[in-house]
Amino acid sequence: MVKRHERSAFGSAYAFPGGVLEDADHNVHDHCVGLSSADANRVLAVESGGLDYFCAAVRELFEESGVLLGCTQLSNDELDRARAELNAGALRWDDFVHANELLMTCDRLHYFSFRITPPELPKRYSARFFLAELPAGQQAVHCGGELTDSCWMSAQAILNASRNKTMRVHHPTRKTLERIAQFDSVAALSVWASSCAEQGVICDQPALAPEMLR
């Protein structure tokens, strides 16, 4: 879990690493491993652009937590410098991928959830959730810019902290954690997440209760 900066979207709340699609994500399809554009479109149930989401997930995970779902000859120090430049806006993701012939292992990502905010809210978004097992030998560390903290906790521990008001967790994250908390191992969770994509992920768009609209 990562903690958002108080001045960022979802300020001071804990969430999963993530962000928004960028133009650069569309420019690196040729560097994806194990997943074609057609497969990505089918899994996400879109006519086009499905692979953009997988590319964005790889990028955001690297920028925010330093975890890289990919194959590269770069050293850890070189990756750290590139990550800092990406977060500072001094380096584009597509330039970084092309220059270093990075292969993104998009097939490690399991798409399992799609949520859209209620239409009554003034600020709206749609969010797709992916799960991936942490690659061996890697460590997750928050970027220190828009993220001010990070931690490894079980889903149930985070839910308990949210109920006790010791961690701020927004509704979409909380609902996702409730689903994850049903599993007691990474293996079982990965099997479930894979089955979600195979069966078809249903869009979840909650409605606000009448008393919440007053």
User: Is the model's pLDDT at 189 over the cut of 90?
Assistant: yes
pLDDT in tens, 60-77: 999 999 999 999 999 999
Residue 204 confidence (pLDDT): 82
Residue 55 has pLDDT above 80, yes or no: yes
What token pair was written down for 132?
A: 């991936």
More confident residue, 201 or 210: 201
Per the document, the length of the chain is: 214
Q: Which pLDDT belongs to residue 7?
A: 66
Mean pLDDT of 79-97: 96
pLDDT of amino acid 209: 62
Can you tell me the distance from the alpha carbon of 127 to that of 108, in angstroms, rounded to the nearest whole number? 19
The fraction of the chain above a pLDDT of 90, given in percent, is: 75
Residue 199 — very low, low, confident or very high, per pLDDT cuts 50/70/90?
very high
Q: What is the CATH number of the domain that holds 38?
A: 3.90.79.10
pTM above 0.75, yes or no: yes
Per-residue pLDDT at 5 exceeds 70: yes
Domain count, the chain: 1
Q: What share of the chain is helix, strand, coil (3-state, %, to 5)?
A: 45, 15, 45
Q: Are 47 and 41 in contact (CB under 8 A)?
A: yes
Cα separations (Å) of 83 from 40, 62, 70, 78, 126?
Answer: 26, 7, 14, 9, 26
Q: Dmax of the chain from CA atoms?
A: 57
**DSSP letters spanning 41-94:** HHHHT-SS-HHHHHHHHHHHHHHHH----EE----HHHHHHHHHHHHHTSS-HH
Supply the mean pLDDT for the chain: 90
Predicted confidence at residue 46, as pLDDT, reads 95
For residue 157, give its domain range.
2-213
Q: What is the pLDDT of residues 111-134, one digit of tens each?
A: 999 988 777 777 777 899 999 999
pLDDT at 212 over 60: no
**Once rounded to an integer, what is the mean pLDDT over residues 39-56?**
96
186-214 burial, b for 16+ CB within 10 Å, e for fewer?
eeebbebbeebbeeebeeeeeeeeeeeee
pLDDT of residue 211: 59
pLDDT confidence band for 8 (50 / 70 / 90) = low
